[in-house]
Amino acid sequence: MIQLSEDRLSVTGRPREYIIKNAALLDIVQGAVIRGGAVRIQDDSIVELFTGPEIPAGVESFDAAGMYMMPGLIDLHVHLVWDGSADPLYTMAKEGNYLAFARGIMNARRSLAQGVTTVRDVGSVDDVAVDIARVFEVGMILGPTVVGAGRIIQPTGGHVPALGYIADSREELIKAVRYMKMRGAGVIKVASTGGAYGPEEIGPSVYSEADLAVIVAEAHHLGLKVASHSLGRVGIENAVRAGVDTIEHGADISSGILQAMHEKNTYFVPTLAVYKKLSESSGQIPEQYVDKAKTVAGWHRETFRKAMDIGVPIALGTDAGSPNFGPQPSVLLEMCTMGQYGMKPADILRAATHTAAAALGRSQVLGAIEAGKKADILLLKENPLEDIRSINSICQVIKSGVML
């Protein structure tokens, strides 16, 4: 587990234009190392790359000799308001919404300190993740980019109703999407099945394909992508056929639906580690939840392998903050689990940067060290293309051009 360096949250600052030189630049797309790389940063963006010895004179520089440079990490599935205890819902209810908001700020900044420069929060009480996103966006506090869904659209009796916007009829579904858009959500989250941590069944699809298509059509009309909590096979099928943009968890996916995801460019955000952890939590959480998690973890290995073989776009998400999952962030644990399930380091890094940015619809500004992209940069002591655990060797985090 990564150890938090508290001093990384203080801003050392740099001039608004500077060069990082002599770094080993990681080409995430190609999975290669470019030695002696340099980037010029102006304000919050990368404006120029250099791969030779010549760099502009008269610009202040930071010497990154002996360091590896890569884009900041992106976690597409977090719950910033949760504490990762055995019962984060109890903690949230006991503390109330104001402390949930404060906890979310704290968890976001902890994530940034450990190299996670963008998170997508896919479920929060009273939509507070939308407000957290705004706090960072307007510059009140330095933090990661947060794409907040607010509450999860779900039917009566759905998954984690404490985080839910309950909508049963098609009129209510349309209203729910429109409300979340008005509230400031950056993505729409819907639950198409039950979950492992909760009394409901995993398997049934709680919304029909037609209901999910209503949500997708309205969200896309309003310029928002749709993420679907989907564990059981029928709910996943309905969600993919309805046109959702990302399948969250996706434990039991048939080969035919995986092929459809590949053809439709539907992103798979598997969150492997959280279910593995829950399945090993006997005596710490209710046994019926452990049993359900064991079922999910068993499905996950095979589904993940088939998804890689078929070429489904896979993006990293952790479910950080979830029950018995420990303190945030959880990115390194998820990366290591992806490796244990057969993914190579270069593909893991793409899932956590380039592919995740594409899943957000932000590949033009995130996910790679390229001119025109946001200056969200990590400098590492060791090469994560050789060992993914080298993500833990952070020397410097840069967020929007600001050195932490």
114-123 pLDDT, tens per residue?
Answer: 999 999 999 9
pLDDT value of residue 3 = 44
C-beta of residue 196 within 8 angstroms of C-beta of residue 202: yes
Whether residue 1 lies inside any domain: the answer is no
Same structural domain for residues 65 and 213?
no
Number of neighbouring beta carbons within 10 Å of residue 96: 11
Q: What is the helix (H) or strand (E) element at residue 333, kind and residue range?
A: helix 331-340
Instruction: Write out pLDDT tens, residues 296-313.
Output: 999 999 999 999 999 999
Mean of the per-residue pLDDT values of the chain: 94
Whether residue 322 lies inside any domain: the answer is yes
Across the range 201-226, mean pLDDT stands at: 96
- What pTM was computed for the model? 0.95
Domain range spanning residue 131?
Answer: 73-360
Residue 361 tokens, joined: 């619809």
Which amino acid, one-letter code, is at 376? Answer: D
Same structural domain for residues 302 and 247?
yes
CATH number at residue 325: 3.20.20.140
Whether residue 291 lies inside any domain: the answer is yes
Which stretches of 15-61 are DSSP H helices? Answer: none
292 pLDDT more than 70: yes
45 pLDDT more than 90: yes
User: In whole angstroms, what is the distance from residue 314 CA to residue 164 CA?
Assistant: 26
pLDDT value of residue 167 = 98
Across the range 29-45, mean pLDDT stands at: 93
Residue 133 tokens, joined: 């996103």
Q: How confident is the model at residue 363 (pLDDT cuts 50, 70, 90)?
A: very high
Same structural domain for residues 24 and 123?
no
Instruction: Write out pLDDT tens, residues 315-354.
Output: 999 999 999 999 999 999 999 999 999 999 999 999 999 9
When divided into structural domains, the chain yields a total of 2
388 pLDDT more than 80: yes
The residues that bridge with 153 in the sheet, in sequence order, are 165, 190
Same structural domain for residues 206 and 300?
yes
Whether residue 211 lies inside any domain: the answer is yes
Same structural domain for residues 67 and 201?
no
pLDDT value of residue 4 = 41
Q: Which residue is listed with tokens 């434990």?
A: 251
User: In whole angstroms, what is the distance from residue 373 CA to residue 254 CA?
Assistant: 37
pLDDT value of residue 5 = 47
The residues that bridge with 41 in the sheet, in sequence order, are 18, 46
Q: Is 248 helix (H, G, I), strand (E, B) or coil?
A: strand
